[in-house]
Amino acid sequence: MARRNKLDKFADLDGFENVYQNFDAKNPTLTGPQGKIFDHRGQWSSQHFSNDKPLTVELACGRGEYSLALGRQYPDRNFLGIDVKGARIWQGARYALRDGLSNVAFVRTRIEMLDAFFAPSEINEIWITFPDPFPRDGKENRRLTSPHFLNVYRPLLKPGGIIHLKTDDPGLYAFTLESIADTPFAHLLGHWDDIYSGDLPIPELAFKTYYEAQHLEAGKTIKYVRIALDPV
């Protein structure tokens, strides 16, 4: 039944007007509703959202809970959730359509392919919310705050753009601070190892995902890092 349910979700995604998908890492093509090919690179706000509002991208968005919360809070901005798992994106996309959140959409692709779908200086902000920390040795380059990924993000961010990391994992938190220190064009704007121990650094951190609620119930602390990158 679970397998059938997942297939049903994949079929739904093909018809959702707020979902774009890439199925082949060797072929950087995005398909949208009914399999139509779209090229929004450099024009996401104008072509999909039909406006010129700032664009925020959530990486490893999972069910899209943060993109949805940000979209509700900031109707004057556009939000794109990125994840490779279609069954996860399905839930966020369905809620966005149900609630009429026309400023929230989703892209199913690998994060390594961001530069194939976004133009230089197109993104105003990046949120990375509870990503896989890849704790094993040899997996460092798969961590979304590694120097490898900071190099991917750098040309895509507008000058002055900010990267936000929210995580419960102390290893990823420490790794991120080291990664910033080791990357000449990266700058640490602030870091907190327990955001709920005092006033929140920024109000957007009050949004809680399903997994964050579980982490808090388990007694874990939630950490936050804010990063800036020099323009290319």
Residues in the chain: 232
Q: Is residue 49 part of a domain?
A: yes
Q: Is 2's pLDDT higher than 70?
A: no
222 secondary structure, DSSP code: P
Q: Is residue 110 part of a domain?
A: yes
Residues 6+ apart with CB under 8 A from 177: 188, 191, 225
Pairwise CA distance, residues 48 & 126, whole Å:
19
Q: Is residue 128 part of a domain?
A: no
For residue range 100-151, list pLDDT tens digits in order: 999 999 999 999 999 999 999 999 999 999 999 999 988 899 999 999 999 9
CATH number of residue 49's parent domain: 3.40.50.150
Q: Is residue 15 part of a domain?
A: yes
For residue range 160-217, list pLDDT tens digits in order: 999 999 999 999 999 999 999 999 999 999 999 999 999 999 999 999 988 899 999 9
Task: Give the per-residue pLDDT at 9.
Answer: 82
Task: Give the per-residue pLDDT at 3.
Answer: 53
More confident residue, 4 or 17: 17
Task: Give the per-residue pLDDT at 4.
Answer: 53
From the centroid of its chain, how far is CA 90? 15
pTM as predicted = 0.94
Task: Please say if 132 is a catalytic residue.
Answer: yes
What's the token pair of residue 20? 């774009």
The domain tally of the chain equals: 1
Q: Is residue 24 part of a domain?
A: yes
Q: Do the strands 123-129 and 186-192 form a parallel or antiparallel pair, or are they unpaired?
A: unpaired
Pairwise CA distance, residues 219 & 107, whole Å:
33
For residue range 43-63, list pLDDT tens digits in order: 999 999 999 999 999 999 999
Task: Give the per-residue pLDDT at 5.
Answer: 78
Are 193 and 173 in contact by the 8 Å Cβ rule? The answer is yes
Helix (H) or strand (E) run with residue 162 in it? strand 157-167
The proportion of the chain whose per-residue pLDDT surpasses 90, expressed as a percent, equals: 85
Residues 6+ apart with CB under 8 A from 229: 150, 153, 154, 157, 161, 163, 185, 186, 187
pLDDT band at residue 1 under the 50/70/90 scheme: very low
Q: Is residue 17 part of a domain?
A: yes
Residues 6+ apart with CB under 8 A from 48: 40, 78, 105
Phi, psi for 87 (deg, rounded to 5): -65, -30
How large is the C-alpha radius of gyration of the chain?
17
Alpha helices (H) along 16-85: 65-73
What is the dihedral sign for C-alpha 99, 102, 106, 112?
negative
Residue numbers of the domain that contains 114: 2-119
Q: Is residue 159 part of a domain?
A: no
Q: Is residue 37 part of a domain?
A: yes
Catalytic residue among 8, 99, 132, 194: 132
Pairwise CA distance, residues 34 & 119, whole Å:
25
Phi, psi for 16 (deg, rounded to 5): -70, 130
220 CB neighbour count, 10 Å cutoff: 15
